[in-house]
Amino acid sequence: MTTLSRFSSRQLGKNGPVVTSPALGGMSLSGAYGAVDDEEGVRVIHAYLDAGGTLIDTGDFYGAGHNEMLIARALRERSRDDVVLSVKFGALLTPVGMPAGFDGRPEAVKSSLTYSLQRLGTDHIDIYRPARLDPQVPIEETVGAVQEMVEAGYVRHIGLSEVGAETIRRAAAVAPIADLQIEYSLLSRGIETNGILDICRELGIGITAYSVLGRGLIGGSGTVDGSLGRMPRFQGDNLDHNRALVTALEEIAAAKGVTLAQLAIAWVAACGEHIVPVIGSRRVSQVESMVGANDVVLDDADLARIDAAVPVGAARGDRYPTQFMGQLDSER
C-alpha cells in the first residue's frame, strides 16, 4: 500500500498529467549500464511506488521489450490508476542491440503501441512519444498518428523526445504536447542556449530531464560499465576533466549536508516548475537517495556557486558517440 508521498508534484505542460518529481527511469533495469537482477528491479519499482512516486518512464526498445515486461510484473499487484506510464517508441534494433534508425510512420506508431500495451498488460499508456525524429517522416504525421490513438482511448497524452525548437513548434501545432524528454543536467545544459528551453516555456510544454546524474559521472561508483565506454565523455582526457568538474561540486554538497547525486537532482528540479528529473535506479538504496533529493532546498547563493563550479558548456566530449549525435534533431 502506498504511504504518504515524499515526492513533490508537478504538472507536465499546461495540458499534461500531474506527476511526482523525480520520475523513475527504467532503462538501467534492462542492462543498459551493466548486469541487472529482475528481482531487484521489481523491488526498485515497488520502493519507488511505496514512497509515493507515480511517474515511470520506459521505452519499448529497452532490453528489446524486457523493461516493459518487468514493469508489468512489478505493477501486477498495484492499482493502474496510481501510475503514470511514459513510453518511447520507434527505435529499430539489431540482434546485438544497437539502434538501426527510427521509424515514425503512422502505421509503425500503431503497431508499436499494440505491442507495448500487451507487454505492459494495460489498456492505455499515459504519455506516448517517438524516441527520436524519423528524418524520413514529417513530425506532423507521427504526432497525428499518436493523436488518433489519444482519440481512440489508447493514449492519454503525447510527448516528444530529443527534438529541436522548430520540430517542437510544428508538433504542437498538430496536437497538445505534454512534455519533451531530453538530456539535461549540470553536465548537459545545451537546452539553455539552443532555444529548446525557451520554446517549451513559450508553448507550455513540460520537460522530463534524463541523465540528470551524467550517466553516473555525478555521484556514481566511478566505474565505466556497459555502454559507457563508448560515450565520449567517459574516454581519455575527457573523463579526467569531467571528473574534476564533479569534484568541484563536492564542497557545495557537503555544505548542504547532501550527496552529490541529491545536489544534482535538486539543481535540475530548481531550474523550473515545469521540469521533472528522471532518475534511473538499479538498487533500492538509489531510490531512497532519489527521494531524499526532494528535501534539498537550493537558494540563489547555492545556485550561483553551482553555476560557477560547472558553467554552461564546461563538460568535455559529446553526450553520445558521433553516429548517434547525428540522429539527434535536438543537436541540429
The answer to whether 214 and 183 have CB atoms below 8 angstroms apart is: no
Question: Mind telling me the catalytic residues?
Answer: 62
When pLDDT is cut at 50, 70 and 90, the band that residue 2 belongs to is very low
Residues 6+ apart with CB under 8 A from 99: 61, 91, 92, 93, 324, 327
User: In whole angstroms, what is the distance from residue 55 CA to residue 276 CA?
Assistant: 10
Q: Quick one: what percent of the chain has pLDDT higher than 70?
A: 98
> Per-residue pLDDT for 96 more than 60?
yes
Dihedral sign (CA 68, 156, 170, 202): negative
- 31 compared with 306, residue with greater pLDDT: 306
The pLDDT, as a whole number, for residue 322 is 83
DSSP designation for 188: B
Instruction: Give backbone dihedrals phi and psi of 276, rounded to 5 degrees, phi first.
Output: -120, 115
* Amino acid occupying residue 302: D
Whole-structure pTM value: 0.94
> Per-residue pLDDT for 1 more than 60?
no
pLDDT in tens, 275-308: 999 999 999 999 999 999 999 999 999 999 999 9
The pLDDT, as a whole number, for residue 229 is 78
When pLDDT is cut at 50, 70 and 90, the band that residue 226 belongs to is low
Q: What is the mean pLDDT of residues 64-70?
A: 97
